[in-house]
Amino acid sequence: MGQFQAALRYMARRAAVAFATLFVLATLLFILFRLVPGDPTLTVLSPALSPENQAELRQRFGLDQPLIVQYGLYLTNMATGHFGISFSRATPVVALIGERVVNTLVLMLPALILAYVLGIFGGALIAWKRGTLLEKSATLFAIVFRAAPIFWMCIVFIVVFSHWLGLFPEGHMLTPGASSDSGISQFLSLDFLRHLVLPLVVMTIYYGCYPLLVMRTSMLEVLHDDFIELCKAKGLSERDVVFRHALRASLLPITSSVALLAAYAVAGSVLVEAVFSWPGIGLLMVSAVLDSDYPVAQAAFLLIAVLTVMGNLIADLLYGLVDPRIRYS
């Protein structure tokens, strides 16, 4: 029971840190946007709006108030989802960002899961087959692709599979006008899947190289352990020894690398979305920043921060689950 309470207390502390991070980031954002050259109110007010609308927004965001009041209003607005009106699209920002997050996750989560499943089993397999051509080429492949800039890899894949072979579309999530579906059913359409293949493959390779290499190293270490000899002596088949016993014992270094994963995954997805024009939250942020559409940029950034923070939180909890030695002290 004490263990359970300790785990709860641990989770509460992690959640508090996650919350504090978002608060700090929101504050930093506030300060940064006051540094914008020229009139800082331009970060909230589109110059294109009519004077009456401008006056109304000025009041809503308290831009005629002292800085500290503005800060309070800003935090309240952020916390309650009042992100303002997009400059370039003249729609409320909230309406823009929801589906973007879904689009990002639809690409990122399958890539992460595939990368880790393939990385873990692939790493175990090549460690078992040490010295073979398979092991050597897979290791070299992982070393090379881990170092390749992901945005460049995306373009290479587009050139080869889209321009030369004509197998897949070179970008976007759906062919415009091809399907009238909306909501969940659009993610089940063949058109969507065709668009998904290339970015998913690049992202899986990009996320998967590191777990593959870590798994290989840690498996090589574990395969020398005494308990492996015991398993063999017990008469288990070699495959059972490798995939049931050694694999489980080798997982620990992977789980500790997961801590770095959230920031890495988010950076990768921003870049992949940018190259493939994938309508996710990362692409929205990049284009909003380039267009100086500050309300959208602000909201998109905060959502990306929420994704990162939640990713870290989940990684932390998973780590506690997998590593039996962690005792939440």
Name which of 22 and 55 has its Cβ closer to other proteins. Answer: 22
Name which of 118 and 274 has its Cβ closer to other proteins. Answer: 274
Closest CA to 267 of 80, 56, 104: 104
Q: How far is the CB of 246 from other proteins (least distance, A)?
A: 15
H/E run at residue 227: helix 226-233
Given the rule CB under 8 A, which residues bind other proteins? 17-18, 20-21, 24-25, 29, 32-33, 35-36, 143-144, 146-153, 155-156, 158-159, 163-164, 220-221, 224, 260, 262-263, 266-267, 270-271, 274-275, 282, 285-286, 289-290, 292, 297, 301, 304-305, 307-309, 312
Residue 307 CA to residue 319 CA, distance in Å, equals 18
Sign of CA dihedral 189, 195, 201, 206: negative
Q: How far is the CB of 297 from other proteins (least distance, A)?
A: 6
Q: How far is the CB of 21 from other proteins (least distance, A)?
A: 4
Closest CA to 30 of 304, 301, 266: 301
Q: How far is the CB of 1 from other proteins (least distance, A)?
A: 27
DSSP state of 50: -
Helix/strand/coil percent split, the chain, to 5: 75, 0, 25
Name which of 192 and 268 has its Cβ closer to other proteins. Answer: 268
**Distance (Å) of CA 250 to CA 197, 212, 228, 256:** 31, 12, 12, 12
Q: How far is the CB of 280 from other proteins (least distance, A)?
A: 12
DSSP assignment of 61-83 equals TTTTS-HHHHHHHHHHHHHTT--
Q: How far is the CB of 190 from other proteins (least distance, A)?
A: 25
Burial class from Cβ neighbours inside 10 Å (0-12, 13-18, 19+) for residue 158 reads buried
Q: How far is the CB of 166 from other proteins (least distance, A)?
A: 12
> How crowded is residue 313: how many other Cβ atoms within 10 Å of its Cβ?
17
Name which of 192 and 312 has its Cβ closer to other proteins. Answer: 312
Residue 323 CA to residue 241 CA, distance in Å, equals 20
Closest CA to 153 of 105, 202, 98: 202
The encoded tokens of residue 278 equal 């994938």
Q: How far is the CB of 293 from other proteins (least distance, A)?
A: 11
Closest CA to 15 of 327, 314, 260: 314
Q: How far is the CB of 15 from other proteins (least distance, A)?
A: 12
Q: Supply φ then ψ for residue 174, to 5 degrees.
A: -140, 150
Name which of 32 and 79 has its Cβ closer to other proteins. Answer: 32
Name which of 65 and 217 has its Cβ closer to other proteins. Answer: 217
Name which of 20 and 230 has its Cβ closer to other proteins. Answer: 20
